[in-house]
Amino acid sequence: MQAVLNLDIGYLGLCALSVIGAIAYGLLIGGIIRKVMARIQSRIGPPVWQPYLDVAKLFFQRTSIRHGMMFYLAPVFRTVGGIGIYLLIPIVAGMPGLAGFSFNGDVLLVIYFMFFGCLGMALGAGESGHPHAIIAVSRGLSQMSSYELPFSLALIALVAQVGTFSIGGIIEAQAGGIGNWYLFMNPLAGIAGLLSFLGMQMYSPFNIVLAPQEIPIGPPTEYNSTFLGLMMSGRAIFGVAKSALFMNLFLGGATSIPEAMIKIFVVYMWAVFVGAVFPRFRAEQSVRFFLRWPTWFGLAGIALAMLMKHLAS
């Protein structure tokens, strides 16, 4: 009994370590993104470790402004949503602490958790009372509903083809070379997934929520000090978790830590490079975009999956 207890505490410690590592890696990716964007605009740009300094500075600040309970809880919801997704997704298959608490049906739970963080954010932003925050929240929720449609269609195609709702099972089904990656096995559903991932990451064409210079940075307008630092950490782990989910679903997962880091980075950069080229959509343009081409690609992906399954049997 004592041995089991010790093992569990050790496992939880590993999970906590991996969460801290994921936050650090997410912040590092944020710094690299700022550097890359600066080089694209022929600037020197901030140092790569700038996000660490920003977060540290924010955690050294204090405030005694009172907005209400949800205002305090929203960054916690956001961070907990990110950690929840991260712990459910297997980052490196079979490695303790990084294998995740994967079980049958966890794909659905992960999608729910993604909504959970944003919903908490919406409640907190609503209580902050700033009109820009409320505009941004309504934009964000409508955009989220629209990009979840093609993403769900791609996921349905994937699940229909693989025959399991577990992320671990999906990774196993893609084992054995690049040709087995779902992105190449069913390219139509892969394209739907890639396009909806752009909306998920909220970089430039779809950054209608934060929307700098338009509605001054949206939901976190009233957030400051430690709240903002917590939200930046939550955003870091959220980005890593979403990229890891995409890596597992479409790019065949990872078998070692460097492979996982590289794949997560590549998936992240896909959204960043698209954002470097395209200017921001308006809210209704973004919603219409997701309901047109990605949705058609998703439906065609389901048809392709059915066809391939029919031919195989």
Partner 1 sequence: MKDEKIRRVPERIEPAPPDVLKDRAYDPVPASPRREVDPYCYLGATEVQQPLAYREALATIRNWCRANSLWVMAYGTGCGAIELRPLMTSRFDMARFGMAPRPTPRQSNVLIIGGYLSLKTLKRVIRAYEQMPAPKWVVGLGSCTINGGMYWDSYYTINKLDLYLPVDVYISGCMPRPEALIAGFQELMKKIKQGEANGWNEYLENIDDYKINQKRVIGDWRMPDYNW
Nearest distance, CB of residue 245 and partner 1, angstroms: 29
Beta-carbon contacts of residue 297 (< 8 Å; ≥ 6 apart): 150, 154, 188, 189, 191, 192, 195
Supply 53's token pair.
């300094």
Nearest distance, CB of residue 255 and partner 1, angstroms: 38
Nearest distance, CB of residue 64 and partner 1, angstroms: 6
Token match 């993604």: residue? 114
Nearest distance, CB of residue 44 and partner 1, angstroms: 4
Which residues bind to partner 1, rule: CB under 8 A? 34, 38, 41-47, 50, 53-54, 56-57, 60-65, 212-213, 216-217, 220-225, 228
Supply 138's token pair.
């309504």
- Closer to partner 1 at the Cβ: 54 or 172? 54
- Closer to partner 1 at the Cβ: 2 or 42? 42
User: Which of 311, 312, 307 is closest to 157 using CA atoms?
Assistant: 307
- Closer to partner 1 at the Cβ: 63 or 145? 63
- Closer to partner 1 at the Cβ: 67 or 138? 67
Pairwise CA distance, residues 82 & 27, whole Å = 14
User: Which of 259, 301, 230 is closest to 90 using CA atoms?
Assistant: 259
Tell me how long the chain is: 313
Token match 């999970």: residue? 15
- Closer to partner 1 at the Cβ: 129 or 176? 129
- Closer to partner 1 at the Cβ: 46 or 187? 46
Nearest distance, CB of residue 34 and partner 1, angstroms: 7
Supply 115's token pair.
């909504």
- The number of CA neighbours under 13 Å toward the Cβ of 177 is 3
Nearest distance, CB of residue 46 and partner 1, angstroms: 5
Count the Cβ atoms, other than its own, within 10 Å of residue 86. Answer: 26
Token match 């907990």: residue? 80
